[in-house]
Amino acid sequence: MNRRHFLRLSVSAVTLATAATRLPSAGAPPRGPIRAGFLGGSHSHAAAKWRLVRASSRFELVGMAEASEEVRARYAAEGVRFLSPPELVAASEVVFVESDVADHARDALLALNAGKHVHVEKPPADNLADLEQMVKLAREKNLVMQVGYMWRHHPGFAVIFEAVRKGWLGEVFLVHGSISSQVPRERRAEWGRFRGGGLFELGSHLIDAAIRLLGEPLQVRATLRTHGKADDNLRDNNVAVFEFPRALAVIGNNTLQPNAGAHRFFEVLGTDGTATLRPIEPPTLELDLGRPAGPYQAGHQKVPLPPYERYVADMDALAAAISRERALAVTLEEELRVQRWLLRACEMG
């Protein structure tokens, strides 16, 4: 890839993945940092988001509400101010819901009912009715509701989405992805609370990407199995096949794989070429095109990507949406579609 193509790609990927540094439109009144509170801190993404929000000039941390002494102890050394849930919600403009997955909808509804913007960790609810109520409140009260799927601003996914939407891969007929982990025995019970097991808690990241990329499925067929040797019923080896009008998406997940991060991937096959993101983190993206398309040449090529750090662009996009600089890239209608098909794949709705 020549220098002109590299620069064009880098600018495009940065715009799609990290474009939250734009200033308000001319004449917009300046505003101070957005007061942000964390309703829960037990989710695996919570600590990293806490530190990013604390370091951001766009947010002002007001504290955390967390009932678990064990979880509170993890944050005590960082000087966290602990408040009750009502105190935290009252003091915040935006509430980060980073509690246990089973409590996401309850906590998000508490904040939305109080008229607060919300960043709710994924999955946002374990049933569709709760998410429908969250969306209803966000619309009625003109509030921002961002769901914490961590790769929505990933530069590799951004390039793939651009390539598909501009037709550079031709007619897409297959999306294939896998996201796995090796869950410690002591955490299996937490994930086992949900019928979808690991597919619900972790596989949701790639189901989110596949459905936003391809639109409304026709149907989904899933195989959810317990193949680990622990004495429990966690669905730990799973595959979901989504059927679209002219394409399939096959998403795999297990909680048994050592060194799983290096083997996570997302691949899109089209009649004019293939895009493969493997591993997803740190991102490595390759294209193999049957003919030149956009800034890319025919044949196999490694695509250079801009620097990437989890959650950074998500936090910037949230601040920009609350400040009315630009809307979130994912609409509330898309959130409902992703949740509806995630629950169906997990035999939960």
Q: How many CA atoms lie within 13 A of 202 on its CB side?
A: 28
- 129-179 per-position pLDDT tens digit: 999 999 999 999 999 999 999 999 999 999 999 999 999 999 999 999 999
- Please report which confidence band the pLDDT of residue 14 belongs to, taking 50, 70 and 90 as the band edges: very low
Beta bridge partners of 146: 119
| pLDDT for the residue 30 | 57
Looking up tokens 């294209």, which residue turns up? 287
pLDDT tens sequence across 168-201: 999 999 999 999 999 988 889 989 999 999 999 9
pLDDT at 307 over 50: yes
Task: Please name the CATH architecture into which domain 31-148 falls.
Answer: 3-Layer(aba) Sandwich (3.40)
The domain made up of 155-308+330-345 has a fold known as Dihydrodipicolinate Reductase; domain 2 (3.30.360)
For the chain, domain boundaries: 31-148, 155-308+330-345
Judged against a pLDDT cut of 50, whether residue 300 lies above it is answered with yes
Q: Read off the pLDDT of residues 63-119 as tens digits, 9 standing for 90 and up.
A: 999 999 999 999 988 889 999 999 999 999 999 999 999 999 999 999 999 999 999
In this prediction the pTM is 0.91
Dihedral angle at the C-alpha atoms of 305, 49, 133, 107, nearest 10 degrees? 160
Comparing CA positions, the residue from 87, 80, 129 lying closest to residue 110 is: 87
Mean pLDDT of the chain: 92
**For 101, which DSSP code?**
G
pLDDT of residue 16: 44
List, edge to edge, every strand of the sheet that includes 59-65.
59-65, 34-39, 94-97, 117-121, 145-148
Dihedral of CA 9/286/292/162: which sign? Answer: negative
